[in-house]
Chain A
Amino acid sequence: MDFELSQEQESFRKVVADFAESEIRPYVAKWDEEKIFPLDVVKKMGEMGLFGLIFPEEYGGSGADFTTLCIAIEELAKVDSSVAITLSAGVGLGASPIYHFGSDEQKATWLPKLCSGEILGAFGLTEPDGGSDAGSTTTKAEKVGEDEWLINGAKAYITNSGTEITGFIVVTADTEEGVTAFLVPYGTPGLVVEPPYRKIGWHASDTHGVVLQDVRVTSDSIVGTIGKGFAQFLATLDEGRIAIAALALGLIQGCRDESVSYAQSRHAFGGPIGRYQGVSFKCADMDVDVEVVRNLVYKAAWLRDSGRPFKREAAIAKLYSSEAAMRAAKDAVQIFGGAGYMDETPVARYYRDAKILEIGEGTSEVQRVVLSRMLGL
């Protein structure tokens, strides 16, 4: 039994933590308020190799394991969930499908740019009329020539789909042979990125709807196998669940640290509020969840890195951590009282950022469905 990360992983954790303190924390309130996607910081993350962490060196990656990616996401999310989801989606939804299912040519064309952060890839699965029912794709791809496809449809809530450096979107579309994934480069006629959504949280993350109107692509833009688009997507989903759990882990720690610091400095009824159990017990509960979630995240990542099945553990980590993040954010705002309801406090941002964790990459209900089925129910 060994719970130690390697010395190199610990050094890397410190580098990412320093990065988050210096490059993110001083500016995050402004990004949140003005809904700014911090392109310069994302580029710096690319220079640090964060987007290429888990991919082989031949594509410009670092050849690190998934655990190391979780470390980076956790450290970023302690300070800001938006930047953390930009990384998580950039790797898990942008680059991973190309790496796992792309042709050699697609890998050679796109992976080096994705690994260096020169471009971001988007993944279009969810549609305006279908979220959890992701198999019911209404976007259609029709073969209109020897080597040509015509795609029509709309995709919703697509992360990293409207940044200045978004290079392509992979969309799932129904064909005569079943759901198939197509890579559509930005600039392709008929690909329209809608204005940004007005979101409760994740203000510094980039999210748009994407419309495909008579988009023409050739057969070499098919990612993976015709008719296997949905199955391929399911295969990469479990990793994304661990990544979201790592993000939740960072957010819970952010809530705990802000709460403890406020409980020590804020005085009421003749002393710091942390001496009252109504406050201190909330902090203690957050600390319990930090430990529980940490173990869930890194156990699931370790299973994945060891080549063992991890579907159940990924679902448990995602489900528990996102609900714990909501609890922690709710309690943190309560500890801050009226101040916590003001957007000037970081806990207000954590509160707004936490809710999506119970929805994105499979809702809590979907996780419970996964787990129920595994119990034979």
Chain B
Amino acid sequence: MNIAVCVKQIPDPAAPGRLDPNTFNLVREGKLVMDDSDSYGVEMALQLVDRAGGGEVTLISMAPNGETSGLRTALAMGAAKAVLVSDPALGGSDALSTAKVLAAAILRNPFDMVITATESTDGYTGTVPVQIAEILGLPAVSFAKKVTLDGNKAMIERQSESGYDEVACELPAVVSVTAGVVEPRYPSFKGIMAAKSKPIETLSLSDLGLSADQVGAAGAREAIVSLRKAEARQAGQIIEDDGEAFAKIIEYLEQLKVV
């Protein structure tokens, strides 16, 4: 069982982010870290490979500046190796370009499944997983909250608004997993030391047979045309408890048809 996991390296969410005033894209300077939402996919892949009794987890990532520290985190968790596509021409890539690059990188190694997060924490388009599946000509199962293997099939519980769907899917397939689906392990010191010597294959666009005009700002078909601040949430209603507050709260909940 070989699984490719797409891992995005993003600016540290703990530090305040900044948008480029011209392109409205997030400024990606300095150190990047593994997107927390990808840690669930890494953990799920490690568990599936472990249960299958063999195989390995390969990380797939794309970053304009050759950054590897986020990948080292996932390697320390137990992934075997990583493929990093890094090329100055990738700056300003839209979701589809990203999917093209990741799909080409995924094809470098044999795989039975591709796992992604449902969306990244910095971009939030949520479209890349299905685009990868389309490019690779594979079935896509999004919002998986549980994945088990049954021979050459994946049995997947797919989160829906009202509950979950049970889906069976032939492999290979692209599966996007929701946060909280598994509990990502903390890397051990041994894992961190081992990650130091695990291979990260760094590729340029030409290594993947892609040209600069297909990707990055040059190839983007999607542009952010304007930007405005999210509306501040209205202040809630404050009920002072004069001994009868419960009645007002029940009345309010009844209005919402919650009770």
Interface residues of A (CB under 8 A from B): 8, 11-12, 15, 18-19, 44, 47-49, 53, 57, 62-64, 68
Contacts and interface: CB of A to CB of B under 8 A. Distances in A.
B187 A8 contact: no
B124 interface: no
Interface in B189-208: 189-193, 196
Interface residues of B, number: 13
Nearest to B183: A44
A12 B190 contact: no
Contacts of B186: 15, 18-19, 44, 47-48
B185 A53 contact: no
B72 interface: yes
Contacts of B185: 47-48
A68 B189 CA distance: 9
Nearest to B185: A47
A53 B189 CA distance: 7
Contacts of B148: none
A20 to B, nearest CB: 11
A63 B189 CA distance: 9
A interface: dominant SS: helix
**Residue from B72, B73, B185, B192 whose CB has the most chain A CB atoms within 10 Å:** B192
Given A12-B189, A15-B186, A47-B186, 7 more contacts: A11-B72, A11-B73, A11-B192, A12-B187, A19-B186, A49-B188, A49-B191
Contacts, number: 40
A322 B15 CA distance: 33
A12 B195 CA distance: 12
B190 A8 contact: no
B173 interface: no
Interface string B65-91: 000000011001000000000000000
Interface in B146-198: 185-193, 196
Contacts of B76: 11, 15
B188 A8 contact: no
Interface of B: 72-73, 76, 185-193, 196
Contacts of A15: 76, 186-187, 192
Contacts of A18: 186
A192 B191 CA distance: 39
B89 to A, nearest CB: 29
Contact of B190 (A11, A19, A44, A49): A49
Nearest to A11: B192
A63 B192 CA distance: 12
A62 B196 contact: no
A15 B73 CA distance: 9
B73 to A, nearest CB: 7
A57 to B, nearest CB: 7
Nearest to B69: A11
Contacts of B193: 8, 62, 64
Contacts of A48: 185-188
A44 B187 CA distance: 11
Contacts of A19: 186
A8 B186 CA distance: 14
A129 B53 CA distance: 56
Contacts of B187: 11-12, 15, 48
A29 to B, nearest CB: 22
Contacts of A11: 72-73, 76, 187, 192
A44 B188 CA distance: 11
Closest 8 CB pairs of A and B: A49-B188, A62-B190, A62-B189, A48-B186, A8-B192, A12-B189, A11-B192, A64-B189
Nearest to A10: B192
B251 to A, nearest CB: 33
Contacts of B189: 8, 12, 49, 53, 62, 64, 68
Contacts of B72: 11
Contacts of A12: 187, 189, 192
A233 to B, nearest CB: 27
A18 B36 CA distance: 12
A62 B188 contact: yes
A155 B72 CA distance: 46
8 contacts: A11-B187, A12-B189, A15-B186, A19-B186, A44-B186, A47-B185, A53-B189, A62-B189
A83 to B, nearest CB: 14
A260 to B, nearest CB: 17
Nearest to A53: B189
Contacts of B196: 8
A100 to B, nearest CB: 21
A224 to B, nearest CB: 28
A271 to B, nearest CB: 25
A47 B186 CA distance: 8
